[in-house]
A and B are shown apart, each in its own frame.
Chain A
Amino acid sequence: MKFTEEHEWLKPEGELVTVGITKHAAEQLGDIVFVELPEAGRSVSKGEEVVVIESVKAASDILAPLDGEIVEVNSALADSPGLVNEDPMGAAWFFRMRPASMADLDGYMDEAAYNAMIG
């Protein structure tokens, strides 16, 4: 599993990558009350806003970590945004994407580097 400085986790599975936010990020955001997901099939560029999360306090964006295509979204989050607080590293994944190049994952942090970053 890889991690971005934006507190996303990226889990490669075959030619797809599943994306969510870390436990640390979920704790910092507080109680999530709304998640807006992209449509499956959308082509995205790295750095593009693809998900909006609203906590009781504020709205935050999730950025596409890689160039590629969104192939599946976790529609359970629309009805149960609180899942992001309950199980951010598991059931509350946001989307699966097919990256233009799996090699682009290599630039991201491993778990030890991420843990060091958040201190």
Chain B
Amino acid sequence: MTEAADAGLRRTPLHGLHLRLGARMVPFAGWEMPVQYGLGVLKEHLHTRAAAGLFDVSHMGQVILRPRSGRIADAAAALERLVPVDVLGLPEGRQRYALFTADSGGILDDLMVANRGDHLFVVVNAARAEADILHMRTHLSDACEVEPVSGRALLALQGPAAAAALASVAHGVDTMRFMDVGVFHVGDCELWVSRSGYTGEDGYEISVPADRAVGLAGVLLARPEVEAIGLGARDSLRLEAGLCLYGSDIDETTTPVEADLAWAIQKVRRAGGARAGGFPGAARILHELAEGAARRRVGLLPEGRAPMRGDTPLYAAEAGGEPVGRVTSGGFGPSVDRPIAMGYVPAALAAAGTRLWGEVRGRRLPVTVCDLPFRQPTYKR
């Protein structure tokens, strides 16, 4: 518990609030973050699915890409050099999931990109923010100013009660659709709101001026249906929703097709599309889109009650042989009330229903390949 007090960890504008709420603080991607509050991971998870959970995600990188020409299409076209995603076709007021790819076809980071009229707004992972900003400056500076947003916190409000709770503060957010973005004024305070999140629940991510973050969090937490939720529950929520954690489920060694993220690559960027290719790793990624990848990320259901954690080796047989794959994320899913995991397996073993074995503490325990997600999302499309 004292490790978080080590020097060098960054603190979000909500740090003091976390301590007042009794959070257990841990180091995460160079930041001192709340892993859980008094409720504990299990109840925090279930509360988010039943009502609303408030998360501090201020450690994530917020970046504005401002086109030098003043034309948003120039920023969008530039960003398309780095992601296999249709950014030019993203309408104003909309957000989309994207991936920075490497020349190898691997994934440098996953991100959200929003069209905010005269600029693009991207949110990247905390651990990758510095590298992503350098990457964008290196490749986009001819067309865009790459402006890391400082002085703003980022909150996520997730769960079935999120819309009513946030609408009580920011009128009109409840009419947004999934992946809409908009600016809302609360007094003289400007909120940048997207109807999105990373829990599989309806909800919002809210960029708020740093000096107003504690006030906004306090107003939301004063409502009985809203509880503060830590990184522990954030991880089990996203795992149940089948969502990837960068650094565990996806990284530079996994391609978008292997990671089962081909849905993030729109037709216009695929072979035969009007802007096919033109992103790092296009040769391999387009080939895998056409021919399939040699391995794939799948859902895994351990048959017993023992959780199967990340790095568990997977075998095709109960005895003998070499590992055929490995678990990349795994644990207990509180809402599905059973152990769940994700991992990579050869394409021939990736069909739902395939039986494999994961080696836990020297014993091979049966797991069944399943479709993702483990729990259907409740987005307001």
A59 touches B309 (CB 8 A): yes
- Stretch of B36-44, B183-191, B199-207, B220-228 lying at the A interface: B36-44
- Once bound together, how far apart are the Cα atoms of A42 and B283, in whole Å? 58
State whether the Cβ of B236 lies closer than 8 Å to any Cβ in chain A. Answer: yes
Cβ–Cβ < 8 Å partners of A81 in chain B: 305
- Once bound together, how far apart are the Cα atoms of A34 and B337, in whole Å? 11
Cβ–Cβ < 8 Å partners of B35 in chain A: 57
State whether the Cβ of B148 lies closer than 8 Å to any Cβ in chain A. Answer: no
Cβ–Cβ < 8 Å partners of A30 in chain B: 36, 40-42, 232
State whether the Cβ of A54 lies closer than 8 Å to any Cβ in chain B. Answer: yes
Produce 1/0 per residue, A44-55, CB < 8 A to B.
000000001011
Q: Which of A54, A56, A58, A59 has the most CB of B within 10 A?
A: A56
Q: Which residues of A (74-99) have their CB < 8 Å from a CB of B? A: 78, 81
A33 touches B307 (CB 8 A): yes
Query: What is the chain B residue whose CB lies nearest that of A31?
Result: B42
B305 touches A56 (CB 8 A): no
- Once bound together, how far apart are the Cα atoms of A54 and B36, in whole Å? 17
Chain A interface residue count, CB cutoff 8 Å, equals 14
Q: Which of B40, B332, B334, B339 has the most CB of A within 10 A?
A: B332
Chain B binding surface, main DSSP class = mixed
- Known contacts A30-B36, A30-B40, A34-B339, A56 near B306 by CB under 8 Å: no
The listed residue (A36, A54, A56) touching B334 by CB distance below 8 A is A56
A34 touches B307 (CB 8 A): yes
State whether the Cβ of B361 lies closer than 8 Å to any Cβ in chain A. Answer: yes
B41 touches A57 (CB 8 A): yes
Produce 1/0 per residue, A30-41, CB < 8 A to B.
110110100000
The listed residue (A34, A56, A59) touching B41 by CB distance below 8 A is A56
- Known contacts A54-B306, A57-B232, A59-B309, A34 near B332 by CB under 8 Å: yes
The listed residue (A52, A57, A58) touching B361 by CB distance below 8 A is A52
Cβ–Cβ < 8 Å partners of B361 in chain A: 52
- Once bound together, how far apart are the Cα atoms of A34 and B339, in whole Å? 9
A34 touches B305 (CB 8 A): yes
Contacts from B to A (Cβ < 8 Å): 35-36, 40-43, 45, 232, 236, 305-307, 309, 331-332, 334, 339, 361
**Which 9 pairs across A and B sit closest by C-beta, in order of nearness?**
A31-B42, A33-B332, A56-B41, A54-B307, A34-B305, A31-B40, A34-B306, A56-B332, A30-B40
26 contacting pairs across A/B (C-beta < 8 A): A30-B36, A30-B40, A30-B42, A30-B232, A31-B40, A31-B41, A31-B42, A33-B42, A33-B307, A33-B339, A34-B305, A34-B307, A34-B332, A36-B306, A52-B306, A52-B361, A54-B306, A54-B332, A55-B41, A56-B42, A57-B35, A57-B232, A58-B309, A59-B309, A78-B305, A81-B305
